[in-house]
Structure 1
Amino acid sequence: MSRKQKKIGIIIAIVLLVIVASTFALNLIIENKIATVIDDLPKSVKVECQSIDVNVWTGNLELASPKVVVSGKTTNKTILDATLKTIEINNLGYWDYLFNDKISVETLIINRLVATYKHNPKVNNDDYEKGFLNQIKQIIAIEKIAITNADVLITEYDTDSTLLSMPKFNFELNDVQINPKASKKDKKIRYGNFTLAAKNLKWTINEFDDLWVNSIQITNDNATFSDFKLKTKYDKAEYSEILKTERDHFDLHIDEVKFLDMNFGFNDNKTFYFKSGKVLLNSLKAEIYRDKLVADDETYKKLYGTLLRDLDFELGLNSVEIRNGKVSYLEKVNVDEKAGRLDFTAMNAIMTNVGNTYLNESTLIKVNSTFMENSSIEVNWNFKVADTTDQFVFKANLGLFKAVTMDQFTKPNLNVDLNGELQQTYFTISGNPSTSRIDMKMKYDDFEVLILKKDGKEKNKFLSTIVNLFISKDSDDEKKAFRYGQAEGVERDVTKSVFNYVWLNIRSGLLSVMTGDGKKEN
């Protein structure tokens, strides 16, 4: 080997040694810098890490087995307790960091996060966001953020009771841009496409009811919730003991809920909005139970138009469709009697313009179902959410109906036994939150009302005879024509539900049809 070659070899060796030493030194400096940053965090934030591995050449960084504990600044109570397998940062852009005052990252991967967060409802959500953004000084650009195999638990701050549990959670977010210097809120944090998947979600939506979802798939445009359940957490007897005023007991199950063509975010007024082109509820089954022995809830009940109008966010659902539904309503009135039951099966419904963003367009509800297993029923209901007078029109068409099928509801609840056959019934209710009018026409045969004694078993012959004196047993002698009835100024009980209002109108219409002259009003 010549002297020249030896010199070149020595130079190369020195260069390699310098590169290796520099790489080691830089890696060590960055690792120590990260450790210093961790040590300098506020006292309320504690971060521990088994090891920090840095590769300056690839721009990769890995924190092994990090643990994060965040405490309240005044109470010292733990707010967040999180452990992870690793946090990986790949392809960190040093050039952007040194010369463009920008942190650019190709991927940020959070592996096997196990986190418990205590939610304090007294702290405004904006405070969390401001606190987060105040800690960021540079622009941050991340091509992809991924959370894999996470187990997330959110509990109530004061009681530690579970609010939300997601034991199998995966999330991916692309093209994240954080600019703390942006003037508008919606410009400070921007992102591209995302995917969210979770299993076995449980959400405590209030002190009485829990929501369960077996599987969730969400993207920017669509969302699917499989095996969706909403259940009251107590059995009926225990629930009635707990309640101070009457409230529905829920048992709702939907095989699949789908939101299509979604769009959500914040508008220029910083108001959250949610819109969807179509919502599908497949195979809905609901049992709703009301114990009337519990004290009445005498608070004012808003009509649905008002409820939608008063939402504190913008909602726009172009259509909501229920396919193959089944709804049962049970009402218990007497201690010694079973709850009366009304069943709607084979239910299909379409609701359009559901929300508070449709201005003068009407919300339309059309329902087709089987009532009490033997009669078809069709309902058409419309109102304008933007109309502050809350005018509405409710129409229904009931097919052939055997009155005896109502006994299991009317006997325990009303001490009334019905007999006969309603061949066809039409009615239209038009009204507002205070009063309404019903127009009804019916064709029926051999209709009879039996008033029962207080025990609900024996017939009260005297009252039954008196009532049936005023009731026309058939719609006419030929049993072909309709009898007509009308009732004006039906007053709403504002402490009861919308459907109680419908029932008050139906009752008034029936009385007019069966006890009046049966003629159509000019």
Structure 2
Amino acid sequence: MKKTLKIPLIILGSFLALVLIINIGFSLWLKYKLPDYLKNKTPYQITYESLTVEILSGSISATQIKIKSKHPDNLESISLNGTLGALNISRLGIIEFLKNNRIEASSVKLSKPNLFIRLSKKNDKPGKEPIPFTIKNIEIDNGNFNIKQSDSSQLFSAKNLNLDVRNLSLNKNPDELPFALDSYTITAKDLFFQLGNVYALTASSIKTNNGKLDVADFEMKSLVDFKDWERNYRSQRSLFGIKSKNLTFEELVFNKTKLSLKNAQILNPEFIIRNRDNKVVKNNKNKSGFYIDFQNVDIINGKLSVMKADGKKSMSIASFNANVKSFLTDSETSKNKVPFTYQDYEISGHRFFYDAGKYYTIDLSSFDLTPQNTDLKNFKLNPKYSRTEFVRMIPMENDLFNISANRIQLSGLKWKYEEDQPDVLLKNVKLTQVDANIFRSKIPKDNPKEKLLYSRLLRNLKFPLLVENLHLINSKLVYEEDKPDSNGPGKILFTNFNMNVKNLNSNKKKGADTKVPILINCKFMDVSPMKVNWNFDTANLRDQFTIAGYINSLPADDINPFIKPYMNVTATGTINSLRFDFRGNNDIMNGQFRITHKDLKVSVLDKDTKEKKKLLSAVANLVVKKDSKKFPESVDIYVERSKDRSFFNFYWKGIEDGLKKSLLVIKI
């Protein structure tokens, strides 16, 4: 052998021999000295059947391990009790541990662990930092774990846990996910996990199969009483609870800045949200640095209950199904008014309830929603109080509404945010078989607030709004007004009510058409054909409008339900036609009025008994024209607007002025 080759071989052989001697020596030291070290230098009693250490490969294995805390009541250290069938650590950086007190290992495998762990009490005082560790791969075979906090509250527990995690990395950034991994498989039963200080997650079983995660009997529940939560977590608006018979996720991906999943299915979930009454205390914490990406989520046969602080429902859905595609929230979307984006969604449900505030609730028998279309069936706006109770509650005049609709359909919806303002476009709004009752009592004092005309109300909207077509079909409108001295409210009735409104807009689009034409066809008092053509312009700052139309073949006694309790007058005869053509603005209204009538007579009634006053009735009929000419002339009307009254009061004053000038023999 050449001399030049002999020397390196001798050196290599010596090195290998040295490693072998060190390995054997370290193994012998572990065999004879480790038990004494564990006994005297650690807070645990640890025994094992066998122990093997390979310094060269950095592998450690032990079997039949038993561990027990020497001082289980000492909250300053972690309490460990239980057994492991086997422990295998591969590629442990022994030198790194001895030199830098840092644990690094390629993989750790625990076989049949059965462990009870109680964590140590948190110590806010500066002191010795915990030993940092990095373990890339973790494998658990048929384990049972019970982990508690220092105060004995449950932190984590699982039975029959089998876990295989690959390329795990921990993250100390509080604004990102606490860990990331490449892949995982898991099966377990009776899972419990505390999520922060408020919530816990539980499941009867969890398992993966070919990348698909399946969770049975999932629940996210609160760990604190509502009153304690309301008092101690003032920056949180709502307390949540979720139950689901089964959850499935495909391709669930974790990394430090991303939580992503595909084809999630949530079966028979029940969502319970309880809101606080008092204000939320804002904090200055930066927005999250990670994002959520859900490619396809299905909720099947879900239930929703939103509760007030007093436990009463503010909203509920008895059952609903939902599908959301490409839901994304990240650092960019969080800057927007709507902090997420989506590609598409479909939501349908039954028996919807909403508490709409102090006076009303809303009910729906069913609903269907997509980004472009909304379909609501059996809509009801229900008063919470009777008319008498409502009148006692209100400080001044106000209307009480009772409204139902067989169907409400919105189609061609497009909306977006521009410069922090919504921009809403609707192609069609269709309301079918609306039944609206509007009641007003004149007992409370007048409301002095100015009642804006509709053109100004629309113009005052801060965002662009355009409804190209609004249709009200085969509906019924009733207005009732009650006076302190009347025996019951007066009533005006419109049936077979059909209305079309075009170009309903808020005058926020430059160069767009701002004129709003409205066409109404109905039966007045359920007997007489009525047609109205009404126009206004949202860009007109004087709120100019026109309103023209007619009523034909109206028996006079059909208006008695309104004039009898309201004016203490009844009428007989026939109004053959009533035509009007008015023009107005926010201050005055003028135009032409014409009426043809036959055999018109009035009876003046006693205010209290409602009996006919013969003398006054005879006098009244002397000043009222019994019959009109065959072709009567139009009369000019002129009225000034009371700004604290509605548009319809303004319109009625024009009709009233025309009636006076047409029917009275003398000017009163």
Question: What's the TM-score bracket when you normalise by the shorter of the two chains?
Answer: 0.7 to 0.9
Q: Report SS of the residue matched to 1:295.
A: coil
Q: Distance in 2 between the 1:282 and 1:64 partners?
A: 42
Q: Distance in 2 between the 1:19 and 1:515 partners?
A: 104
Note the alpha carbon deviations across 1:133-177, whole angstroms, 9 max, x for none. 923x334332112223222222334x4443211121222100223
Is residue 226 of structure 2 the alignment partner of residue 88 of structure 1? no
Partners of 2:274 and 2:308 within 8 A in 1: yes
Which residue in 2 is equivalent to 1:141?
A: 293
Cα distance, 1:28 vs structure 2? 4.9
Cα distance, 1:370 vs structure 2? 0.8
Q: Distance in 2 between the 1:297 and 1:407 partners?
A: 28
Distance 1:64 1:161, change over 3 A: closer
The one-letter code matched in structure 2 to 1:217 is: D
Distance 1:321 1:182, change over 3 A: closer
Which residue in 1 is equivalent to 2:397?
A: 246
Q: Distance in 2 between the 1:183 and 1:223 partners?
A: 26
Note the alpha carbon deviations across 1:11-42, whole angstroms, 9 max, x for none. xxxxxxx9999784593558998998897855
Cα distance, 1:440 vs structure 2? 0.5
Which residue in 2 is equivalent to 1:152?
A: 304
Is residue 598 of structure 2 the alignment partner of residue 445 of structure 1? yes
1:472-487 to 2 correspondences below 5 Å: 472-476=625-629, 480-487=630-637
Partners of 1:80 and 1:115 within 8 A in 2: no
Which residue in 2 is equivalent to 1:116?
A: 272
The one-letter code matched in structure 2 to 1:340 is: G
More helix by percentage: 1
The one-letter code matched in structure 2 to 1:506 is: I
Note the alpha carbon deviations across 1:92-150, whole angstroms, 9 max, x for none. 246xx48xx6443212333333233234587689x79x98x923x33433211222322
Partners of 2:623 and 2:666 within 8 A in 1: no
Partners of 2:464 and 2:506 within 8 A in 1: yes
Distance 1:228 1:33, change over 3 A: farther
Aligned with 1:501 (options 625, 641, 650): 650
The one-letter code matched in structure 1 to 2:261 is: V
Distance 1:171 1:40, change over 3 A: same
Partners of 1:262 and 1:276 within 8 A in 2: yes
Which residue in 1 is equivalent to 2:356?
A: 205
Q: Report SS of the residue matched to 1:501.
A: helix
Note the alpha carbon deviations across 1:218-249, whole angstroms, 9 max, x for none. 11221110111111122223323333323323
Cα distance, 1:368 vs structure 2? 0.5
In structure 2, list runs of 5 or more residues that go unmatched. Answer: 1-107, 112-136, 141-161, 172-176, 180-191
Q: Distance in 1 between the 2:326 and 2:346 partners?
A: 13
Runs of 4 or more above 6 Å deviation: 18-23, 30-40
Distance 1:409 1:483, change over 3 A: same
The one-letter code matched in structure 2 to 1:192 is: Q
Cα distance, 1:450 vs structure 2? 3.2
Which residue in 2 is equivalent to 1:273?
A: 423
Q: Distance in 2 between the 1:68 and 1:491 partners?
A: 63
User: 463-472 or 201-210: which moved more?
Assistant: 463-472
Q: Report SS of the residue matched to 2:564.
A: helix
Is residue 331 of structure 2 the alignment partner of residue 331 of structure 1? no
Q: Distance in 2 between the 1:433 and 1:475 partners?
A: 33
More strand by percentage: 2
Partners of 2:330 and 2:340 within 8 A in 1: yes
Which residue in 1 is equivalent to 2:521?
A: 368
Distance 1:456 1:349, change over 3 A: farther
Q: Report SS of the residue matched to 2:654.
A: helix
1:45-444 to 2 correspondences below 5 Å: 45-50=198-203, 53=206, 55=208, 57-58=210-211, 60=213, 62=215, 64-69=217-222, 71-72=229-230, 74-75=233-234, 79-85=238-244, 86-93=246-253, 97=255, 102-119=258-275, 134-135=287-288, 137-157=289-309, 159-181=310-332, 185=336, 189-264=340-415, 266-334=416-484, 337-357=487-507, 359-444=512-597
Q: Distance in 2 between the 1:459 and 1:384 partners?
A: 47
Aligned-residue sequence identity (percent) comes to 22
Q: Report SS of the residue matched to 1:190.
A: coil
Q: TM-score normalised to the size of structure 2?
A: 0.65
Distance 1:381 1:76, change over 3 A: closer
Distance 1:250 1:183, change over 3 A: closer
Cα distance, 1:278 vs structure 2? 0.8
Q: Distance in 2 between the 1:474 and 1:506 partners?
A: 19
Partners of 2:486 and 2:566 within 8 A in 1: no
Q: Distance in 2 between the 1:50 and 1:411 partners?
A: 69
Partners of 1:27 and 1:54 within 8 A in 2: no
Partners of 2:235 and 2:280 within 8 A in 1: no
Output the aligned Cα RMSD.
Answer: 3.6
Partners of 2:239 and 2:275 within 8 A in 1: no
Note the alpha carbon deviations across 1:346-378, whole angstroms, 9 max, x for none. 111111112315654211211111111221100
Distance 1:274 1:68, change over 3 A: farther
Greater CA radius of gyration, 1 or 2? 2
Distance 1:219 1:187, change over 3 A: closer
Q: Distance in 1 between the 2:355 and 2:466 partners?
A: 25
Q: Distance in 2 between the 1:278 and 1:259 partners?
A: 6
Distance 1:339 1:443, change over 3 A: same
Q: Report SS of the residue matched to 2:659.
A: helix
Aligned length: 486
The one-letter code matched in structure 1 to 2:589 is: S
Which residue in 1 is equivalent to 2:27?
A: none
The one-letter code matched in structure 2 to 1:278 is: N
Note the alpha carbon deviations across 1:170-197, whole angstroms, 9 max, x for none. 2210022333146962796221110011
Q: Distance in 1 between the 2:504 and 2:393 partners?
A: 34
Q: Distance in 2 between the 1:76 and 1:278 partners?
A: 41
Distance 1:29 1:226, change over 3 A: same
Q: Distance in 1 between the 2:422 and 2:248 partners?
A: 33
Q: Report SS of the residue matched to 1:423.
A: strand
Partners of 1:322 and 1:348 within 8 A in 2: yes
Q: Distance in 2 between the 1:138 and 1:254 partners?
A: 44
Q: Distance in 1 between the 2:581 and 2:524 partners?
A: 18
Cα distance, 1:463 vs structure 2? 4.3
Distance 1:188 1:251, change over 3 A: closer
Cα distance, 1:293 vs structure 2? 2.5
Note the alpha carbon deviations across 1:313-361, whole angstroms, 9 max, x for none. 4332111111111112222225561222221111111111123156542
Partners of 2:194 and 2:201 within 8 A in 1: no
Partners of 1:442 and 1:513 within 8 A in 2: yes
Distance 1:516 1:267, change over 3 A: farther
Q: TM-score normalised to the size of structure 1?
A: 0.82
User: 19-28 or 139-148: which moved more?
Assistant: 19-28
Q: Which has the higher contact order (CA 8 A, sep 6+)?
A: 1
User: 356-365 or 34-43: which moved more?
Assistant: 34-43
Partners of 2:195 and 2:201 within 8 A in 1: no
